[in-house]
Amino acid sequence: MSQPSPQQIKAVANQILKTWWVWLGLAIIIWSGLLLVEKVTRYQARSLQGELAQSASNQVAQSLVVISNALRTQVMQSASNQLASGFGNISNQIATALGQPQIQATIEAVAAQQATQLMFGAISPAISNFQAKLSQAQARLDTTPISRARASKDGAKPSEPAAPAGLVLDTQSISKQGSSYALTVAFKRINDTPLGGVRFMIGAFNQLPARILAVDVESDSDPAVERTIDSSRLEATLNFTPLEKVDPVIKILLSGPTVMQITCDALPEPVTVPVLVNLPNAKTSSR
């Protein structure tokens, strides 16, 4: 079979191109290709846009985190420095204020008052038992030979109305003597009636560790002074006769802080004294 000549091919091509359906098919093919290209382009554009948006969002988030951490660190450091500086200034001002003698005296006075209140608050439930024990001890002392001799001597005199109590508490002071506490208590006569012999009953609060080490008379008196301290060192007695017109003064040496109670036949009521070394002018109370 012979090959068609170029003229024949050209003639066939011209005939085909003159038919309408050929051009329609070509148009459809071109339109379909353009539509496919448009869809592919749009899909790629959307994908690229999403990737760019995600990348931008991640970068922005990372930048915000870095900026936030940096700002937080800077703010915390600045706040810490300012707080440290402020506390330092306040501490210096407080230290300067506390160094003033008036402030120190005020603090010591308040602390001393609170210490006294705390001590009395802690021991007040047992004070009544303590007083009862002292009363019992004084009753036992009334049965001693000296007490009976005094009672016999007084009984020989004509009966007279009972005289009022001849002593009241005047002053008291506390000082340290080494590791011991020295309590000095001064009493004052309320009238010129002769006191004669006086008997002081001295007791230390039994629920505190302090003990009575010694008792003595500090004022002028007759040489005959009777001093006794029981074996528990919680109770002691002083029997002596003050000289005429001399106010009696007694001294008690203690092993530590405590609460003392002093009774006497010339006192209207027992006297309670807190013994604290930081309270040289501690208040006393009578019960």
Q: Model confidence over 146-202: pLDDT tens digits?
A: 555 555 555 544 445 544 558 999 999 999 888 899 999 999 988 888 888 899 999
Residue 273 and residue 260 in contact, taking contact as beta carbons nearer than 8 Å: yes
Residue 248: predicted pLDDT: 92
Q: Let me know whether 78 and 132 are in one domain.
A: no
Q: Let me know whether 218 and 150 are in one domain.
A: yes
Q: Let me know whether 175 and 250 are in one domain.
A: yes
Residue 200 phi/psi, 5° resolution? -100, 130
Residue 283: predicted pLDDT: 42
In terms of residues, how long is the chain? 287
Residue 112 lies inside a defined structural domain of this protein = no
Residue 50 lies inside a defined structural domain of this protein = yes
pTM, full prediction: 0.46
Residue 194: predicted pLDDT: 81
What is the spatial order of strands in the sheet that 285-286 belongs to? 226-229, 235-240, 198-204, 258-264, 271-275, 285-286
* Domain extent for 192: 126-155+164-286
Residue 106 lies inside a defined structural domain of this protein = no
pLDDT single digits (tens) 14-33: 666 666 666 677 778 888 88
Among 54, 81, 98, residue at a domain's last position: 98
